Amino acid sequence: MAFPHPRRSPLAAVALALAAGLSLTACGGSAGSDDGGDGGPVTVTFAASTFGDPGLGPRLTALIDSYNASQTAVKIEPAAVPFPTFGQTVLTQMGGGEGPDLVRFDMPEFTAAADADLLEPLDDRVKTDGLQLQPGPDQYMKLDGKRYGIVFDTSNYVMYYNTELVKTPPKTFDEFMKTAKATTKGDVYGLAFRQTQAEENGVWQDIFNYVYGFGGQWSDGTNLTLNKAENVKGLEAYQSLYDAGVIPKGADAATFRKMFAQNKVGMELNNGGYLVATRGTNPDLKFSVAPIPFPVRAQGAIMAPIVINANSEHKDQAAAFVDWVLQSENQTALQEALGASSVATVTQRSAKQLEETPFLPVYDELTNSSAPQIVVGFGPKTADIRKIVVTQVIAALQGQQSMQQAMDKAQDEALKIVG
């Protein structure tokens, strides 16, 4: 399904066509929406998969409503595109010279769009001087020395644990294993994670924490390092848990997350967005979070920049909205709307938030040790490399090869596609 040109098709057509399951198409023209010649406000479209989230969407929309109420020259129009089709839908439209004015991208799509010159450089458009930007996430907002994005939200991975099943959170990997084994009884499991090819992207997100948590990395920024010793060690730790029988093998994420909410899983590694979803599934569940108990304090994050479409006819208005979001009070409001995620700048949690969720600082303290789930230096190739790595890792889980052999093969295959 094509993201409709704001001049030529109302936003209602987005939901209608997506629901109909139409294939992606391209159409002429450029992004942007005029005021129709009646002197009304310029409409600037802002696309994000999170607008469709039943818990988060209304809170983000309320923030946009407050911007729209603050002036009369511009109207920000939120557009929800389902997560599974979001990247393909928006990138296809942008590649055809169209698309929304503003986009909240995940990092793989962000790097692909920047690499294809589909994003407007922000160095001279968005005011960052004097802002206390979070240095860890912000370093990934520039490519080849140019800024193409501003962090909209960073959702760090932590260890969620059921406080009725796990009385004391583990602080080392050995304790993690022992706790998982001790908690596994009958139809209750100590741990859960993705481990099937059908959930390739999810497996990648899960193993990312093991690789980085054991001191590894997929690249050094210039060269692929898939078979690095630390990577293999982290993946062997992941496999040791799989082999220990402490997870519900074959269960997909939807199934084991429901199990966590039903007191059937003791621990899970997940990002800050899981907080709202877990409470929504079972408001009475007793759980908390702690840093992932691996040797190195490094973990993955769902890092999402806000960007301006290079095709937009309203770049100035789009940039003005980004500047508004970066104002201190609006950063605080955005962080409160997001829940357990961090925003572009360093902010302080309110007393009310901390009373409702005392463990929020655990997420926040990990922001600058988190990394986006891409292959640094090879962002546009991340999806291809991910498929290779996950395929080989799963073959190792199934006993077809050692994890060292898996990563040696992955390194060889990936080198062929990156040139």
Q: What is the pLDDT of residues 255-294, one digit of tens each?
A: 999 999 999 999 999 999 899 889 989 999 999 999 999 9
- Three-class DSSP labels, the chain: CCCCCCCCCCCHHHHHHHHHCCCCCCCCCCCCCCCCCCCCCEEEEEECHHHHCCCHHHHHHHHHHHHHHHCCCEEEEEECCCHHHHHHHHHHHHHCCCCCCEEECCHHHHHHHHHCCCECCCCCCCCCCCCCECHHHHHHHEECCEECCEEEEEEEEEEEEECCCCCCCCCCHHHHHHHHHHHCECCEEEEECCCCHHHHHHHHHHHHHHHHHCCCCCECCCCECCCCHHHHHHHHHHHHHHHCCCCCCCCCHHHHHHHHHCCCEEEEEEECCHHHHHHHHCCCCCEEEECCCCCCCCEEEEEEEEEEECCCCCHHHHHHHHHHHCCHHHHHHHHHHHCCCECCECCCCCHHHHHHCCCHHHHHCCHHHEEECCCCCCHHHHHHHHHHHHHHHHHHHCCCCCHHHHHHHHHHHHHHHHC
Q: Is the pLDDT of residue 63 over 60?
A: yes
Do 124 and 180 share a domain, yes or no?
no
Do 245 and 389 share a domain, yes or no?
yes
In a domain, 196, yes or no: yes
d(CA 76, CA 60): 12
Total number of domains constituting the chain: 2
Do 83 and 131 share a domain, yes or no?
yes
Range of the domain at 357: 12-154+302-371
Q: Is the pLDDT of residue 22 over 50?
A: no
Do 176 and 225 share a domain, yes or no?
yes
In a domain, 289, yes or no: yes
- pLDDT-derived band at 8 (thresholds 50, 70, 90) equals very low
CATH number for the domain harbouring residue 231: 3.40.190.10
Q: What pTM was estimated for this model as a whole?
A: 0.87
Do 338 and 323 share a domain, yes or no?
yes
Q: At what angle do helices 107-115 and 83-95 cross, to 10 degrees?
A: 10
Do 276 and 291 share a domain, yes or no?
yes
pLDDT at 35: 56
In a domain, 402, yes or no: yes
Do 352 and 240 share a domain, yes or no?
no
Do 207 and 174 share a domain, yes or no?
yes
Average pLDDT, the chain: 90
Do 407 and 269 share a domain, yes or no?
yes
Q: Is the pLDDT of residue 358 over 70?
A: yes
Do 247 and 394 share a domain, yes or no?
yes
Q: Is the pLDDT of residue 38 over 80?
A: no
Do 129 and 264 share a domain, yes or no?
no
pLDDT at 410: 98
In a domain, 132, yes or no: yes
In a domain, 5, yes or no: no
Do 289 and 308 share a domain, yes or no?
no
In a domain, 7, yes or no: no
Q: Is the pLDDT of residue 254 over 70?
A: yes
d(CA 160, CA 279): 12
Who has greater pLDDT, 81 or 110? 110
In a domain, 238, yes or no: yes
Q: Is the pLDDT of residue 187 over 50?
A: yes
Beta-carbon neighbour count of residue 26 at 10 Å?
Answer: 11
In a domain, 6, yes or no: no
* Token pair belonging to 46: 């802002």
